[in-house]
Chain A
Amino acid sequence: MQAAVEVTNFTKRYGDFTAVSGISFQVQPGEIFGLLGPNGAGKTSTLECLEGLRSADQGSLSILGVDPGRETRKLRNLIGVQLQASGLPAAMTVDEAMRFFCAYHQVAPRYDLLERMGLGEKRQAQFGQLSTGQQRRLALALAIAHQPPVIFLDEPTAGLDVASRVELHSLIQDLKSTGATIILATHDMAEAEKMTDRVAILLRGKIVADGTPRELTATGSGYTKVSVRTENALLQTNGHSFAGVSQRQVLDDYVVYYSTETGKTVSELMDYINQQGDKLVDLRVERPSLEERFLEITHTGDVK
Protein backbone atom coordinates (compact mmCIF):
# COMPACT_ATOMS: atom_id res chain seq x y z
CA MET A 1 0.00 0.00 0.00
CA GLN A 2 1.29 3.47 -0.92
CA ALA A 3 2.15 5.63 2.08
CA ALA A 4 0.10 8.82 2.36
CA VAL A 5 3.20 10.76 3.36
CA GLU A 6 6.72 9.60 2.70
CA VAL A 7 9.82 11.48 3.86
CA THR A 8 13.19 10.02 2.87
CA ASN A 9 16.55 11.37 4.00
CA PHE A 10 15.09 14.90 4.06
CA THR A 11 17.41 17.82 4.82
CA LYS A 12 16.56 21.52 5.02
CA ARG A 13 19.17 24.25 5.44
CA TYR A 14 18.95 28.01 5.85
CA GLY A 15 22.38 29.33 4.90
CA ASP A 16 24.87 27.60 7.17
CA PHE A 17 22.20 26.45 9.60
CA THR A 18 20.82 22.94 9.14
CA ALA A 19 17.24 22.93 10.42
CA VAL A 20 16.48 19.32 9.50
CA SER A 21 19.15 16.72 8.93
CA GLY A 22 18.41 13.58 6.92
CA ILE A 23 15.17 12.46 8.53
CA SER A 24 12.94 9.69 7.19
CA PHE A 25 9.44 8.61 8.16
CA GLN A 26 6.23 7.35 6.61
CA VAL A 27 2.60 7.97 7.45
CA GLN A 28 0.08 5.39 6.33
CA PRO A 29 -3.36 6.34 4.94
CA GLY A 30 -5.89 6.91 7.70
CA GLU A 31 -3.26 7.41 10.40
CA ILE A 32 -3.02 10.33 12.80
CA PHE A 33 0.69 11.05 13.01
CA GLY A 34 2.10 13.37 15.66
CA LEU A 35 5.17 15.48 14.97
CA LEU A 36 6.54 16.55 18.34
CA GLY A 37 9.55 18.52 19.42
CA PRO A 38 10.67 21.65 21.25
CA ASN A 39 10.86 25.00 19.46
CA GLY A 40 13.55 25.00 16.79
CA ALA A 41 13.56 21.21 16.47
CA GLY A 42 12.69 21.31 12.76
CA LYS A 43 8.93 20.59 12.91
CA THR A 44 7.89 23.72 11.05
CA SER A 45 10.57 23.31 8.38
CA THR A 46 9.43 19.73 7.81
CA LEU A 47 5.79 20.75 7.64
CA GLU A 48 6.47 23.73 5.37
CA CYS A 49 8.36 21.55 2.90
CA LEU A 50 5.59 18.93 2.95
CA GLU A 51 3.02 21.69 2.42
CA GLY A 52 4.96 23.01 -0.57
CA LEU A 53 5.79 26.32 1.11
CA ARG A 54 9.54 25.62 0.93
CA SER A 55 11.68 23.22 -1.01
CA ALA A 56 13.89 20.47 0.41
CA ASP A 57 17.67 20.78 0.05
CA GLN A 58 18.18 17.04 0.03
CA GLY A 59 16.15 13.86 0.09
CA SER A 60 12.66 13.26 -1.19
CA LEU A 61 9.16 14.10 0.00
CA SER A 62 5.94 12.62 -1.28
CA ILE A 63 2.25 13.20 -0.54
CA LEU A 64 0.24 10.37 -2.11
CA GLY A 65 2.92 10.08 -4.78
CA VAL A 66 3.07 13.83 -5.45
CA ASP A 67 6.30 15.77 -4.95
CA PRO A 68 5.21 18.85 -2.94
CA GLY A 69 8.17 20.90 -4.20
CA ARG A 70 7.42 20.36 -7.88
CA GLU A 71 3.76 19.49 -8.35
CA THR A 72 2.21 22.28 -6.33
CA ARG A 73 -1.02 22.44 -8.34
CA LYS A 74 -1.76 18.74 -7.78
CA LEU A 75 -0.75 19.13 -4.15
CA ARG A 76 -3.32 21.85 -3.36
CA ASN A 77 -6.29 19.54 -3.67
CA LEU A 78 -4.54 16.68 -1.85
CA ILE A 79 -3.76 18.58 1.32
CA GLY A 80 -5.59 20.78 3.79
CA VAL A 81 -3.49 22.92 6.08
CA GLN A 82 -4.34 24.70 9.28
CA LEU A 83 -1.42 27.01 9.85
CA GLN A 84 -0.37 27.90 13.39
CA ALA A 85 -0.76 31.60 12.63
CA SER A 86 -3.99 31.60 10.68
CA GLY A 87 -3.55 34.57 8.38
CA LEU A 88 -6.58 35.98 6.64
CA PRO A 89 -7.34 39.60 5.74
CA ALA A 90 -8.88 41.33 8.76
CA ALA A 91 -11.74 42.68 6.65
CA MET A 92 -12.71 39.28 5.19
CA THR A 93 -15.96 37.91 6.61
CA VAL A 94 -16.34 34.27 7.62
CA ASP A 95 -18.71 33.66 4.69
CA GLU A 96 -16.38 35.38 2.24
CA ALA A 97 -13.45 33.30 3.45
CA MET A 98 -15.41 30.09 2.87
CA ARG A 99 -16.52 31.20 -0.62
CA PHE A 100 -13.04 32.53 -1.49
CA PHE A 101 -11.06 29.38 -0.69
CA CYS A 102 -13.70 26.92 -1.91
CA ALA A 103 -13.76 28.78 -5.24
CA TYR A 104 -10.00 28.31 -5.61
CA HIS A 105 -10.40 24.61 -4.77
CA GLN A 106 -13.33 24.46 -7.21
CA VAL A 107 -15.78 23.01 -4.68
CA ALA A 108 -19.08 24.35 -3.31
CA PRO A 109 -18.77 26.39 -0.08
CA ARG A 110 -19.15 24.21 3.04
CA TYR A 111 -21.34 26.38 5.26
CA ASP A 112 -22.24 23.24 7.24
CA LEU A 113 -18.65 23.18 8.53
CA LEU A 114 -19.07 26.72 9.86
CA GLU A 115 -22.10 25.53 11.83
CA ARG A 116 -20.16 22.51 13.09
CA MET A 117 -17.32 24.79 14.22
CA GLY A 118 -19.73 27.00 16.15
CA LEU A 119 -19.33 29.85 13.69
CA GLY A 120 -22.92 29.82 12.39
CA GLU A 121 -23.75 33.11 14.09
CA LYS A 122 -20.47 34.69 13.02
CA ARG A 123 -20.82 34.22 9.29
CA GLN A 124 -21.04 37.95 8.61
CA ALA A 125 -18.34 38.85 11.15
CA GLN A 126 -14.99 39.98 9.83
CA PHE A 127 -11.92 37.84 10.56
CA GLY A 128 -10.36 40.63 12.62
CA GLN A 129 -13.41 40.68 14.91
CA LEU A 130 -13.19 36.96 15.78
CA SER A 131 -11.58 35.66 18.96
CA THR A 132 -8.39 33.60 18.67
CA GLY A 133 -10.36 30.40 19.17
CA GLN A 134 -12.90 31.36 16.51
CA GLN A 135 -10.09 32.25 14.09
CA ARG A 136 -8.50 28.84 14.62
CA ARG A 137 -11.82 27.07 14.15
CA LEU A 138 -12.38 28.99 10.93
CA ALA A 139 -8.88 28.08 9.74
CA LEU A 140 -9.66 24.42 10.37
CA ALA A 141 -13.01 24.64 8.57
CA LEU A 142 -11.25 26.19 5.57
CA ALA A 143 -8.51 23.56 5.67
CA ILE A 144 -10.96 20.66 5.39
CA ALA A 145 -13.69 22.25 3.25
CA HIS A 146 -12.40 20.64 0.04
CA GLN A 147 -12.21 17.22 1.76
CA PRO A 148 -8.48 16.67 1.27
CA PRO A 149 -7.12 13.16 1.89
CA VAL A 150 -4.12 14.53 3.87
CA ILE A 151 -4.55 17.18 6.55
CA PHE A 152 -1.83 19.12 8.35
CA LEU A 153 -2.79 20.59 11.71
CA ASP A 154 -0.26 22.88 13.38
CA GLU A 155 -1.13 23.39 17.06
CA PRO A 156 -4.85 23.06 16.29
CA THR A 157 -6.06 23.53 19.85
CA ALA A 158 -3.76 26.36 20.92
CA GLY A 159 -5.88 29.15 22.35
CA LEU A 160 -9.08 27.09 22.49
CA ASP A 161 -11.25 26.70 25.58
CA VAL A 162 -11.98 23.23 26.98
CA ALA A 163 -15.31 22.77 25.19
CA SER A 164 -13.81 23.82 21.85
CA ARG A 165 -10.89 21.44 22.35
CA VAL A 166 -13.23 18.54 23.00
CA GLU A 167 -15.27 19.43 19.92
CA LEU A 168 -12.14 19.74 17.82
CA HIS A 169 -10.80 16.39 19.03
CA SER A 170 -14.12 14.84 18.10
CA LEU A 171 -13.89 16.43 14.65
CA ILE A 172 -10.36 15.10 14.17
CA GLN A 173 -11.60 11.60 15.04
CA ASP A 174 -14.46 12.04 12.55
CA LEU A 175 -11.96 13.03 9.87
CA LYS A 176 -9.91 9.95 10.66
CA SER A 177 -13.02 7.78 10.37
CA THR A 178 -13.52 9.09 6.82
CA GLY A 179 -10.06 7.79 5.94
CA ALA A 180 -8.20 11.10 6.08
CA THR A 181 -4.53 11.05 7.03
CA ILE A 182 -3.67 13.65 9.64
CA ILE A 183 -0.28 15.10 10.51
CA LEU A 184 -0.57 16.81 13.87
CA ALA A 185 2.18 19.10 15.12
CA THR A 186 1.62 19.94 18.75
CA HIS A 187 3.27 20.94 21.99
CA ASP A 188 0.38 19.41 23.93
CA MET A 189 1.61 15.94 24.88
CA ALA A 190 -1.71 14.92 26.39
CA GLU A 191 -3.33 15.75 23.07
CA ALA A 192 -0.69 13.79 21.15
CA GLU A 193 -1.08 10.80 23.48
CA LYS A 194 -4.86 10.87 23.16
CA MET A 195 -5.21 11.59 19.45
CA THR A 196 -2.29 10.09 17.57
CA ASP A 197 -1.63 6.58 16.30
CA ARG A 198 2.10 7.19 16.02
CA VAL A 199 4.46 10.02 16.85
CA ALA A 200 7.96 11.13 15.93
CA ILE A 201 9.95 13.32 18.28
CA LEU A 202 12.29 15.76 16.58
CA LEU A 203 15.28 17.23 18.32
CA ARG A 204 17.90 19.46 16.70
CA GLY A 205 16.74 18.45 13.23
CA LYS A 206 16.80 14.69 13.82
CA ILE A 207 14.15 12.16 14.77
CA VAL A 208 15.19 10.95 18.22
CA ALA A 209 12.23 8.69 18.89
CA ASP A 210 9.24 7.35 16.99
CA GLY A 211 6.52 4.80 17.50
CA THR A 212 3.10 4.60 19.06
CA PRO A 213 2.64 6.69 22.22
CA ARG A 214 2.44 3.41 24.16
CA GLU A 215 5.71 2.17 22.69
CA LEU A 216 7.46 5.43 23.49
CA THR A 217 6.26 5.55 27.07
CA ALA A 218 7.26 1.92 27.59
CA THR A 219 10.87 2.64 26.67
CA GLY A 220 13.20 5.12 28.35
CA SER A 221 13.98 4.88 32.04
CA GLY A 222 11.43 2.08 32.46
CA TYR A 223 10.14 3.34 35.82
CA THR A 224 6.53 2.93 36.81
CA LYS A 225 5.08 5.26 39.42
CA VAL A 226 3.37 3.49 42.33
CA SER A 227 1.53 5.98 44.55
CA VAL A 228 0.15 4.80 47.89
CA ARG A 229 -1.98 6.40 50.58
CA THR A 230 -2.75 4.65 53.86
CA GLU A 231 -5.03 5.47 56.76
CA ASN A 232 -2.28 5.92 59.36
CA ALA A 233 0.29 7.39 56.95
CA LEU A 234 2.70 4.67 58.02
CA LEU A 235 4.76 4.76 54.81
CA GLN A 236 5.29 8.48 55.02
CA THR A 237 7.22 8.28 58.25
CA ASN A 238 9.21 5.06 58.31
CA GLY A 239 11.00 5.24 54.92
CA HIS A 240 10.74 1.48 54.30
CA SER A 241 11.72 0.45 50.75
CA PHE A 242 10.57 -2.41 48.53
CA ALA A 243 11.78 -4.64 45.71
CA GLY A 244 12.53 -2.84 42.44
CA VAL A 245 12.20 0.64 43.93
CA SER A 246 14.94 3.06 43.04
CA GLN A 247 13.44 6.29 44.28
CA ARG A 248 10.91 7.29 46.94
CA GLN A 249 9.10 10.60 47.18
CA VAL A 250 6.45 12.01 49.56
CA LEU A 251 3.82 14.09 47.81
CA ASP A 252 1.04 15.44 50.08
CA ASP A 253 -0.75 12.38 51.52
CA TYR A 254 0.87 9.99 49.06
CA VAL A 255 4.17 8.16 49.00
CA VAL A 256 5.40 7.67 45.43
CA TYR A 257 7.75 4.79 44.55
CA TYR A 258 9.54 4.66 41.18
CA SER A 259 9.82 0.96 40.40
CA THR A 260 11.29 -1.14 37.64
CA GLU A 261 9.52 -4.27 38.98
CA THR A 262 5.98 -3.12 39.49
CA GLY A 263 4.48 -6.53 40.35
CA LYS A 264 6.99 -7.29 43.11
CA THR A 265 6.82 -3.76 44.50
CA VAL A 266 3.02 -3.77 44.79
CA SER A 267 2.94 -7.27 46.27
CA GLU A 268 5.56 -6.45 48.96
CA LEU A 269 3.89 -3.13 49.64
CA MET A 270 0.49 -4.74 50.33
CA ASP A 271 2.04 -7.36 52.59
CA TYR A 272 3.92 -4.70 54.55
CA ILE A 273 0.84 -2.51 55.08
CA ASN A 274 -1.15 -5.52 56.33
CA GLN A 275 1.68 -6.66 58.63
CA GLN A 276 1.99 -3.21 60.17
CA GLY A 277 -1.77 -3.00 60.82
CA ASP A 278 -2.30 0.00 58.57
CA LYS A 279 -5.13 0.19 56.02
CA LEU A 280 -4.84 0.98 52.30
CA VAL A 281 -6.86 4.05 51.19
CA ASP A 282 -5.63 4.50 47.62
CA LEU A 283 -3.16 2.77 45.30
CA ARG A 284 -2.26 4.10 41.85
CA VAL A 285 0.04 2.48 39.33
CA GLU A 286 0.96 4.87 36.52
CA ARG A 287 3.14 4.38 33.49
CA PRO A 288 5.17 7.47 32.57
CA SER A 289 3.14 9.80 30.38
CA LEU A 290 4.22 10.82 26.90
CA GLU A 291 4.99 14.23 28.34
CA GLU A 292 7.41 12.73 30.87
CA ARG A 293 9.03 10.62 28.16
CA PHE A 294 9.22 13.67 25.89
CA LEU A 295 10.93 15.72 28.60
CA GLU A 296 13.30 12.84 29.32
CA ILE A 297 14.26 12.60 25.64
CA THR A 298 14.57 16.32 25.00
CA HIS A 299 16.57 16.95 28.18
CA THR A 300 18.97 14.10 27.71
CA GLY A 301 19.11 14.26 23.91
CA ASP A 302 18.55 10.51 24.04
CA VAL A 303 18.78 9.31 20.44
CA LYS A 304 17.01 6.07 19.60
Chain B
Amino acid sequence: MTAFTNHFAFEFKTGLRSATSMLMNYLFPLGYYAMMGLVMTQVNPSFKETMIPGIILVSIMAAALLGMPGPLVEAREAGIYRSYKINGVPAAAILLIPMLTTVFHALIASGVIALTANPLFDGLNPENWLALALVTGLAALNFGCLGALIGVVSNGSRSVVLWSQLIFLPSMLLGGLMMPLSVLPESVLNVSFLLPTTYAMQAFSGLAYNQATLIDPWLAAGILVVGAVLAIALALYLFKWDNQHSSGRKLIALALLAWLPYLAGVVLR
Protein backbone atom coordinates (compact mmCIF):
# COMPACT_ATOMS: atom_id res chain seq x y z
CA MET B 1 0.00 0.00 0.00
CA THR B 2 2.86 2.38 0.83
CA ALA B 3 4.34 1.74 -2.60
CA PHE B 4 1.00 2.48 -4.27
CA THR B 5 0.50 5.64 -2.16
CA ASN B 6 4.01 6.90 -2.92
CA HIS B 7 3.63 6.16 -6.61
CA PHE B 8 0.19 7.74 -6.80
CA ALA B 9 1.35 10.84 -4.89
CA PHE B 10 4.37 11.21 -7.18
CA GLU B 11 2.34 10.85 -10.38
CA PHE B 12 -0.31 13.23 -9.09
CA LYS B 13 2.33 15.87 -8.29
CA THR B 14 3.90 15.33 -11.72
CA GLY B 15 0.55 16.33 -13.21
CA LEU B 16 1.05 19.71 -11.57
CA ARG B 17 4.85 20.06 -11.82
CA SER B 18 5.25 19.25 -15.48
CA ALA B 19 4.39 22.23 -17.68
CA THR B 20 2.86 20.03 -20.41
CA SER B 21 0.73 18.05 -17.97
CA MET B 22 -0.38 21.21 -16.17
CA LEU B 23 -1.35 22.70 -19.52
CA MET B 24 -3.41 19.70 -20.59
CA ASN B 25 -4.90 18.93 -17.18
CA TYR B 26 -5.98 22.44 -16.25
CA LEU B 27 -4.85 25.43 -18.31
CA PHE B 28 -6.15 24.33 -21.70
CA PRO B 29 -9.50 22.88 -20.48
CA LEU B 30 -10.27 25.77 -18.14
CA GLY B 31 -9.09 28.33 -20.72
CA TYR B 32 -11.28 26.67 -23.35
CA TYR B 33 -14.15 26.67 -20.85
CA ALA B 34 -13.75 30.38 -20.14
CA MET B 35 -13.52 31.24 -23.83
CA MET B 36 -16.53 29.13 -24.81
CA GLY B 37 -18.47 30.44 -21.84
CA LEU B 38 -17.79 34.05 -22.79
CA VAL B 39 -18.10 33.79 -26.59
CA MET B 40 -20.14 30.74 -27.58
CA THR B 41 -22.99 31.38 -25.14
CA GLN B 42 -23.43 34.81 -26.79
CA VAL B 43 -23.15 33.58 -30.38
CA ASN B 44 -25.26 30.44 -29.91
CA PRO B 45 -27.47 30.52 -26.80
CA SER B 46 -28.55 26.88 -27.33
CA PHE B 47 -24.93 25.93 -26.54
CA LYS B 48 -25.80 26.53 -22.86
CA GLU B 49 -27.87 23.33 -22.91
CA THR B 50 -24.88 21.10 -23.65
CA MET B 51 -22.20 23.34 -22.21
CA ILE B 52 -21.49 21.39 -19.02
CA PRO B 53 -21.20 17.86 -20.47
CA GLY B 54 -19.54 19.13 -23.67
CA ILE B 55 -16.79 21.05 -21.93
CA ILE B 56 -16.34 18.31 -19.33
CA LEU B 57 -15.60 15.90 -22.20
CA VAL B 58 -13.14 18.35 -23.79
CA SER B 59 -11.43 18.64 -20.43
CA ILE B 60 -11.24 14.84 -20.04
CA MET B 61 -9.95 14.36 -23.60
CA ALA B 62 -7.31 17.07 -23.16
CA ALA B 63 -5.93 15.40 -20.04
CA ALA B 64 -6.25 11.78 -21.15
CA LEU B 65 -5.63 11.91 -24.91
CA LEU B 66 -3.43 14.99 -25.36
CA GLY B 67 -1.65 15.04 -21.99
CA MET B 68 -1.08 11.50 -20.79
CA PRO B 69 0.23 9.36 -23.71
CA GLY B 70 3.24 11.60 -24.50
CA PRO B 71 4.90 11.27 -21.08
CA LEU B 72 4.26 7.50 -21.16
CA VAL B 73 6.19 7.23 -24.43
CA GLU B 74 8.94 9.59 -23.27
CA ALA B 75 9.39 7.59 -20.06
CA ARG B 76 9.73 4.36 -22.02
CA GLU B 77 12.23 5.95 -24.42
CA ALA B 78 14.28 7.40 -21.55
CA GLY B 79 14.71 3.98 -19.94
CA ILE B 80 12.58 4.91 -16.93
CA TYR B 81 10.50 1.74 -17.20
CA ARG B 82 13.67 -0.35 -17.17
CA SER B 83 14.67 1.30 -13.89
CA TYR B 84 11.17 0.63 -12.60
CA LYS B 85 11.20 -3.00 -13.66
CA ILE B 86 14.57 -3.63 -12.05
CA ASN B 87 13.28 -2.17 -8.81
CA GLY B 88 10.16 -4.31 -8.81
CA VAL B 89 7.58 -1.77 -10.02
CA PRO B 90 4.92 -3.88 -11.76
CA ALA B 91 3.82 -3.09 -15.31
CA ALA B 92 0.26 -2.68 -14.08
CA ALA B 93 1.34 0.10 -11.71
CA ILE B 94 3.26 1.87 -14.48
CA LEU B 95 0.11 2.11 -16.59
CA LEU B 96 -2.70 2.21 -14.06
CA ILE B 97 -1.29 4.82 -11.68
CA PRO B 98 -0.66 7.56 -14.29
CA MET B 99 -4.07 6.69 -15.76
CA LEU B 100 -5.77 7.06 -12.37
CA THR B 101 -4.00 10.32 -11.54
CA THR B 102 -4.95 11.70 -14.95
CA VAL B 103 -8.56 10.70 -14.27
CA PHE B 104 -8.25 12.42 -10.89
CA HIS B 105 -6.98 15.66 -12.46
CA ALA B 106 -9.70 15.48 -15.12
CA LEU B 107 -12.34 15.04 -12.42
CA ILE B 108 -11.07 18.10 -10.55
CA ALA B 109 -11.24 20.23 -13.71
CA SER B 110 -14.66 18.72 -14.53
CA GLY B 111 -15.88 19.55 -11.04
CA VAL B 112 -14.85 23.19 -11.46
CA ILE B 113 -16.68 23.34 -14.80
CA ALA B 114 -19.82 21.60 -13.53
CA LEU B 115 -20.12 23.78 -10.44
CA THR B 116 -19.37 27.16 -12.03
CA ALA B 117 -20.92 26.95 -15.53
CA ASN B 118 -24.38 27.92 -14.33
CA PRO B 119 -23.49 30.85 -12.07
CA LEU B 120 -20.85 32.20 -14.46
CA PHE B 121 -22.32 31.53 -17.92
CA ASP B 122 -25.91 30.41 -17.33
CA GLY B 123 -25.04 26.86 -18.44
CA LEU B 124 -27.88 24.40 -17.98
CA ASN B 125 -27.50 22.43 -14.76
CA PRO B 126 -28.30 18.70 -14.90
CA GLU B 127 -31.51 17.35 -13.43
CA ASN B 128 -29.59 14.49 -11.87
CA TRP B 129 -26.22 15.52 -10.43
CA LEU B 130 -25.39 11.98 -9.38
CA ALA B 131 -25.84 10.75 -12.96
CA LEU B 132 -23.64 13.62 -14.16
CA ALA B 133 -20.93 12.55 -11.71
CA LEU B 134 -21.31 8.89 -12.72
CA VAL B 135 -21.07 9.54 -16.47
CA THR B 136 -18.17 11.98 -15.92
CA GLY B 137 -16.34 9.25 -14.00
CA LEU B 138 -17.05 6.64 -16.69
CA ALA B 139 -15.96 8.97 -19.49
CA ALA B 140 -12.76 9.90 -17.61
CA LEU B 141 -12.02 6.23 -17.05
CA ASN B 142 -12.76 5.39 -20.69
CA PHE B 143 -10.50 8.09 -22.08
CA GLY B 144 -7.84 7.38 -19.43
CA CYS B 145 -7.69 3.77 -20.60
CA LEU B 146 -7.59 4.83 -24.26
CA GLY B 147 -4.78 7.28 -23.43
CA ALA B 148 -2.82 4.47 -21.77
CA LEU B 149 -3.33 2.29 -24.85
CA ILE B 150 -2.11 5.10 -27.14
CA GLY B 151 0.95 5.52 -24.91
CA VAL B 152 1.70 1.81 -25.19
CA VAL B 153 1.34 1.43 -28.96
CA SER B 154 3.00 4.71 -30.01
CA ASN B 155 6.64 4.41 -31.02
CA GLY B 156 7.43 8.09 -30.57
CA SER B 157 6.04 11.56 -30.04
CA ARG B 158 4.87 11.85 -33.66
CA SER B 159 2.71 8.76 -33.51
CA VAL B 160 1.34 9.87 -30.13
CA VAL B 161 0.10 13.09 -31.72
CA LEU B 162 -1.28 11.16 -34.71
CA TRP B 163 -3.30 8.63 -32.66
CA SER B 164 -4.47 11.19 -30.11
CA GLN B 165 -5.65 13.65 -32.74
CA LEU B 166 -7.29 10.85 -34.70
CA ILE B 167 -9.70 10.49 -31.78
CA PHE B 168 -9.71 14.06 -30.42
CA LEU B 169 -10.57 16.01 -33.59
CA PRO B 170 -13.46 13.83 -34.86
CA SER B 171 -14.75 13.70 -31.28
CA MET B 172 -14.84 17.50 -31.15
CA LEU B 173 -16.63 17.75 -34.50
CA LEU B 174 -18.89 14.69 -34.57
CA GLY B 175 -19.24 13.61 -30.94
CA GLY B 176 -22.15 15.89 -30.14
CA LEU B 177 -20.04 18.45 -28.28
CA MET B 178 -20.46 21.34 -30.70
CA MET B 179 -23.77 20.42 -32.34
CA PRO B 180 -26.58 17.99 -31.57
CA LEU B 181 -26.25 14.55 -33.18
CA SER B 182 -29.78 14.85 -34.58
CA VAL B 183 -28.59 17.36 -37.20
CA LEU B 184 -26.04 14.92 -38.66
CA PRO B 185 -26.90 12.83 -41.76
CA GLU B 186 -27.23 9.08 -41.21
CA SER B 187 -23.90 8.21 -42.85
CA VAL B 188 -22.01 10.67 -40.65
CA LEU B 189 -23.97 9.47 -37.65
CA ASN B 190 -22.46 6.00 -38.13
CA VAL B 191 -19.02 7.59 -37.89
CA SER B 192 -20.13 9.48 -34.78
CA PHE B 193 -21.09 6.24 -33.09
CA LEU B 194 -17.53 4.98 -33.56
CA LEU B 195 -16.42 7.66 -31.08
CA PRO B 196 -16.52 7.20 -27.28
CA THR B 197 -17.52 10.88 -26.93
CA THR B 198 -20.84 10.15 -28.64
CA TYR B 199 -21.70 7.48 -26.07
CA ALA B 200 -20.67 9.79 -23.23
CA MET B 201 -22.86 12.62 -24.58
CA GLN B 202 -25.77 10.20 -25.03
CA ALA B 203 -25.34 8.97 -21.45
CA PHE B 204 -25.16 12.57 -20.17
CA SER B 205 -28.28 13.54 -22.10
CA GLY B 206 -30.35 10.55 -21.08
CA LEU B 207 -29.23 10.02 -17.49
CA ALA B 208 -28.24 13.46 -16.22
CA TYR B 209 -30.58 15.70 -18.27
CA ASN B 210 -33.51 13.31 -18.91
CA GLN B 211 -33.47 14.27 -22.59
CA ALA B 212 -34.31 12.10 -25.60
CA THR B 213 -31.35 10.12 -26.96
CA LEU B 214 -30.50 8.13 -30.09
CA ILE B 215 -29.38 5.14 -28.05
CA ASP B 216 -30.39 3.74 -24.66
CA PRO B 217 -28.29 5.86 -22.26
CA TRP B 218 -27.56 2.87 -20.03
CA LEU B 219 -26.35 0.96 -23.09
CA ALA B 220 -24.16 3.96 -23.92
CA ALA B 221 -22.76 3.94 -20.36
CA GLY B 222 -22.21 0.19 -20.63
CA ILE B 223 -20.30 0.60 -23.90
CA LEU B 224 -18.06 3.18 -22.19
CA VAL B 225 -17.31 0.68 -19.42
CA VAL B 226 -16.63 -2.21 -21.81
CA GLY B 227 -14.48 0.11 -23.96
CA ALA B 228 -12.46 1.12 -20.91
CA VAL B 229 -11.94 -2.46 -19.74
CA LEU B 230 -10.93 -3.63 -23.20
CA ALA B 231 -8.56 -0.69 -23.76
CA ILE B 232 -6.73 -1.12 -20.45
CA ALA B 233 -6.59 -4.92 -20.88
CA LEU B 234 -5.00 -4.45 -24.30
CA ALA B 235 -2.64 -1.77 -22.93
CA LEU B 236 -1.46 -4.14 -20.19
CA TYR B 237 -1.11 -7.01 -22.66
CA LEU B 238 0.84 -4.94 -25.18
CA PHE B 239 2.94 -3.05 -22.62
CA LYS B 240 6.67 -2.91 -23.43
CA TRP B 241 9.44 -2.08 -20.99
CA ASP B 242 11.51 -0.42 -23.71
CA ASN B 243 11.48 0.43 -27.40
CA GLN B 244 13.79 -2.38 -28.51
CA HIS B 245 12.70 -5.38 -30.54
CA SER B 246 9.03 -4.46 -30.81
CA SER B 247 6.78 -4.85 -33.78
CA GLY B 248 4.79 -1.63 -34.27
CA ARG B 249 2.28 -2.91 -36.83
CA LYS B 250 1.35 -5.94 -34.75
CA LEU B 251 0.80 -3.70 -31.72
CA ILE B 252 -1.47 -1.34 -33.64
CA ALA B 253 -3.47 -4.18 -35.20
CA LEU B 254 -4.13 -5.62 -31.74
CA ALA B 255 -4.86 -2.18 -30.26
CA LEU B 256 -7.61 -1.62 -32.83
CA LEU B 257 -9.57 -4.36 -31.06
CA ALA B 258 -10.35 -1.66 -28.49
CA TRP B 259 -12.87 -0.31 -31.03
CA LEU B 260 -15.03 -3.45 -30.95
CA PRO B 261 -17.50 -2.08 -28.36
CA TYR B 262 -18.09 1.06 -30.46
CA LEU B 263 -18.55 -1.03 -33.62
CA ALA B 264 -21.09 -3.06 -31.66
CA GLY B 265 -22.74 0.25 -30.67
CA VAL B 266 -23.15 1.19 -34.35
CA VAL B 267 -24.93 -2.11 -34.94
CA LEU B 268 -27.05 -2.01 -31.77
CA ARG B 269 -28.34 1.57 -31.91
- The residue that B83 contacts in the complex, of A88, A91, A99, A126, with Cβ under 8 A, is A88
Query: Given A89-B75, A91-B17, is A104 in contact with B241 using a C-beta cutoff of 8 Å?
Result: no
Q: Is the CB–CB distance between A53 and B85 below 8 Å?
A: yes
Q: Is the CB–CB distance between A89 and B6 below 8 Å?
A: no
Q: Is the CB–CB distance between B6 and A53 below 8 Å?
A: no
- Complex alpha-carbon distance, A160 and B214, angstroms: 65
Residue of B nearest to A142 (CB): B87
Q: Would you call A230 an interface residue if the criterion is a C-beta within 8 Å of the partner chain's C-beta atoms? A: no
Count A-B pairs with CB separation below 8 Å: 66
Q: Would you call B245 an interface residue if the criterion is a C-beta within 8 Å of the partner chain's C-beta atoms? A: yes
A212 nearest CB across to chain B (Å): 29
Q: Would you call A87 an interface residue if the criterion is a C-beta within 8 Å of the partner chain's C-beta atoms? A: yes
Q: Is the CB–CB distance between B80 and A53 below 8 Å?
A: no
Q: Would you call B10 an interface residue if the criterion is a C-beta within 8 Å of the partner chain's C-beta atoms? A: yes
- Complex alpha-carbon distance, A77 and B87, angstroms: 8
Q: Is the CB–CB distance between B88 and A53 below 8 Å?
A: no
Q: Is the CB–CB distance between A53 and B75 below 8 Å?
A: no
Contact with B along A202-226 (1 / 0, CB 8 A): 0000000000000000000000000
Q: Is the CB–CB distance between A103 and B6 below 8 Å?
A: yes
A240 nearest CB across to chain B (Å): 59
Q: Would you call A287 an interface residue if the criterion is a C-beta within 8 Å of the partner chain's C-beta atoms? A: no
Residue of A nearest to B75 (CB): A89
Query: Given A88-B80, A89-B80, A91-B17, is A76 in contact with B87 using a C-beta cutoff of 8 Å?
Result: yes
Residue of A nearest to B17 (CB): A91
- Complex alpha-carbon distance, A87 and B89, angstroms: 14
- Complex alpha-carbon distance, A79 and B6, angstroms: 22
Q: Would you call B78 an interface residue if the criterion is a C-beta within 8 Å of the partner chain's C-beta atoms? A: yes
Residue of A nearest to B245 (CB): A14
- The residue that A89 contacts in the complex, of B14, B86, B87, B245, with Cβ under 8 A, is B14
Residues of B at under 8 Å CB distance from A? 2-3, 5-7, 10, 13-14, 17-18, 75, 78-83, 85-89, 241, 245
- What are 26 A-B contacts with C-beta separation under 8 Å? A14-B245, A53-B241, A73-B88, A77-B88, A79-B86, A83-B82, A83-B83, A85-B78, A86-B79, A86-B83, A87-B79, A87-B80, A87-B82, A89-B14, A91-B18, A92-B10, A92-B14, A96-B10, A99-B6, A100-B7, A101-B87, A103-B3, A103-B5, A104-B3, A104-B89, A142-B87
